[in-house]
Amino acid sequence: MPTSDAQLLTKSATDLAAMIRSGDISAVELIDATLRQIEANSDINAFTLVDADGAREAARAVKPGDARPFAGVPIAIKELNAVAGQPLTMGSDILGDYLAPSDMYTIRRLREAGFILVGRTSAPEFGIVPVTEPRRFGPTRNPWNTDRTPGGSSGGAAAAVAAGMLPLAHGSDGAGSLRIPAACCGLVGHKASRGRISAGPDAGDSPLSTQGALTRTVMESALLLDILSGYELGDATWAPDPEEPFAVTAGKPPRTLRIAFTTETPISGVEVHPEHVRAVEDAAKTLEALGHHVERFTPAIWNMDQLMEAFLALYGSGVGSGVNWAAAVTQRRPSPELVEPLTWAFYQHGARVSGPDLIAAQVGLQGHSRAFLQLFRSFDAFMTPTLAARPIPVGSLNTMTEDGLSEFRKAVAFTPFTAVYNVTGQPAISLPVGQGADGLPLAVQIAGKPLADGELLALAAQVEAALPWSGRLPERLR
């Protein structure tokens, strides 16, 4: 049986907030349980920093009756994002002991909702690869099987939630970095529409990345989106506000939808594990039984091989910008000694991309997105596996190799289905619909129409009701 701490922390964040509000448990007691669970699961190596004193101090200020929606509930922040006064390392040696001068807007919104920040969760260096094994902090392990990866780049966040250390955790998604670890760890990972969540105050609009969370349920993801989304003064672009809160929409049955699905990968030469194929086909039958029109369909434009160079130009330039920023704030010069070889390979690749070539890559990706999105004139949603392979063994991706870009292509073969929606900017969600013969979770990914986060969450909630998963836990929590 789970320990009392684990039983407590596998409850929903909503239930925990209600318990604190009613006085059934104090925020201090909940934070103490969280800290004990983090210590008990130290073998997972999910955290790069635990702020026990700060968390307890914040908890003491939360009293019964606190009206904030998540008052007293613990949460952790992904290593790649700024929390005022805490180390911001990007998982890299290059930043040394640099302290963030201010909170991201995302972090400010979490604080305003009453969440208590207990620490920071690990991520790969600069968030580049879909595993979490930074040289600086060592590998994070999957609570379902510690020989396997929890995914990345929000791998520490997913591992912390899956292991019962937290009810949910903050993360971000630049090429699948919420959905991939959600799939590896049996959680819900929703990537919001582009422009839905501000990247301020320091970061500009990203063509690929957005903030979010790893949760146990679709409703928790919807509630977090309501907290995180919305215009911030100075944002250059933003998504329009929904007609009603996302959690309200998620709580209603969706209309009858036309849903396409495929198990073919968008990258040639990549095979999909049979269990992932089965998971998608079984989910398609479930959706059909729920009354939706479901059709196996692979669009002619699904193949993404020709986009790889444009994507790498944009991705490499982003990594290069991050390395240059890190060097500037620490008054260092970028050098291969300060970052992992794979990061250095991306840095050099980005440096070779000229201004005109970068603009051409952006325009090319936008053009492809417009063509791909024609699919959504005929369909309301598109379902695929989240991963092509089962969660890979720790150490399978070697970020210390000198041939970094070739190693990155191994990462693409593991996760070929996710990055397309960072390019198109549309919402996508990974759902843990089953469990494989290896004991690890099975997941499917569903993408919705541009800006249709509410409809996608309602559909996902309907799938969750038909295929409930919140009680499915790793052996260490049983």
Q: Tell me the catalytic residues.
A: 78, 153, 177
- 234-249 b/e with 16+ CB inside 10 Å = b? ebeebbeebeebbbeb
How buried is 129 (Cβ within 10 angstroms: 0-12 exposed, 13-18 middle, 19+ buried)? buried
- In whole angstroms, give the CA distance from residue 239 to residue 246: 14
Helices 453-466, 218-228: axis angle to 10 degrees equals 160
Beta bridge partners of 442: 434
Q: How many helices (H) and strands (E) does the chain have?
A: 17, 11
Q: Which helix (H) or strand (E) holds 436?
A: none
Q: Is 451 left (phi over 0), alpha (psi -120 to 50) or beta?
A: left
State how beta strands 258-261 and 381-385 pair. parallel
Residue of 442, 409, 116, 113 lying closest to 275 (CA atoms): 442
Q: Within 10 A of 27 (CB to CB), how many other CB atoms are there?
A: 27
Pairing mode of beta strands 74-78, 116-121: parallel
Residues 388/276, Cβ–Cβ less than 8 Å: yes
Strand segments (E) across 174-262: 188-191, 210-215, 258-261
Yes or no: say if 160 and 123 are a contact pair by the CB < 8 Å rule.
no
